[in-house]
Structure 1
Amino acid sequence: MSETTFTFRVDDDLKEQFTAAAKGRDRSGAQLLRDFMREFVKQQQEADAHDPWFRREVQIGIDAANAGDVVSAEEVEAEAAAWRSETRRKMAGANS
């Protein structure tokens, strides 16, 4: 793996605090910065992968709705009411 130098400016006070915090973790500032950079890149890659997946899922829902494959509000409410009733029954039994 080739390496390169990454130079940037930072406030003296922040650098001193960061260096002290890094030493408190038995790490150098450079080690922590590399870790932070890796984690940031990983998060961005995950976010980039999530967007196409999310768009596909939304399109599946749109296609299903356009095809008439939907559940009525009444059916949803009836199912939710049954779930709430069952949950209340279980909670009453647990508190007895």
Structure 2
Amino acid sequence: MKLEPELRDRFMAETAADDRPAAQVMRELMRDYIDRRQKARDYDDFLRRKVEIGRRQWDAGLHVSNEEAEAEAAARRAELLRRIGEADA
């Protein structure tokens, strides 16, 4: 791995100030980088699958308009509020 001398010197100074071996810190940084990249790939895969499912549902006609979804949600809210009102009575 090639590093600029100034970057290497500053890194070595900081690890020495923390009384930690530079190699240990580098391993931690590498593991953290690998973990972040894996999580990003996993999320991208998850999102891709969700989009594919949505597209298949759309193609199969298994969708509702925004207006229909809002109307259904409003009806559910009204029903829940009615039940709460009955329970309080």
Query: What TM-score results when the alignment is normalised by the length of structure 1?
Result: 0.59
More deviation in 52-61 or 69-78?
A: 69-78
In the alignment, the residues of structure 2 paired with residue 47 and residue 30 of structure 1 have an alpha-carbon distance, to the nearest angstrom, of 26
SS of structure 1 residue aligned to 2:47: helix
Higher helix fraction: Structure 1 or Structure 2? 2
- Following the alignment from structure 2 to structure 1, what is the Cα–Cα distance between the partners of residues 53 and 65? 18
In the alignment, residue 22 of structure 2 is paired with which amino acid?
A: G
- Which of residues 37, 41, 51 is equivalent to 1:44? 37
Q: 1:17 aligns with which of 10, 18, 22?
A: 10
**Any unmatched runs of 5+ in structure 2?**
78-89
For the residue of structure 2 that corresponds to 1:21, the secondary structure is: helix
Normalization by structure 2: what TM-score?
A: 0.63
In the TM superposition, residue 42 of structure 1 has moved relative to its aligned partner by 1.8
Q: Are positions 1:61 and 2:54 aligned together?
A: yes
| Displacement of 1:47 | 2.7
| Whole-angstrom distance in 2 between the partners of 1:14 and 1:44 | 23
Kindly provide the amino acid, as one letter, of the partner of residue 49 in structure 1: D
Across the aligned residues of Structure 1 and Structure 2, the Cα RMSD in angstroms comes to: 2.5
Stretches of 4+ aligned residues off by more than 6 angstroms: none
User: In the alignment, what sits opposite 1:72?
Assistant: 65
In the alignment, structure 1 segments of 5+ residues that lack a partner are 1-7, 84-96
- Which amino acid in 2 is paired with 1:75? E
Kindly tell me the number of residue pairs found equivalent between the two proteins: 75
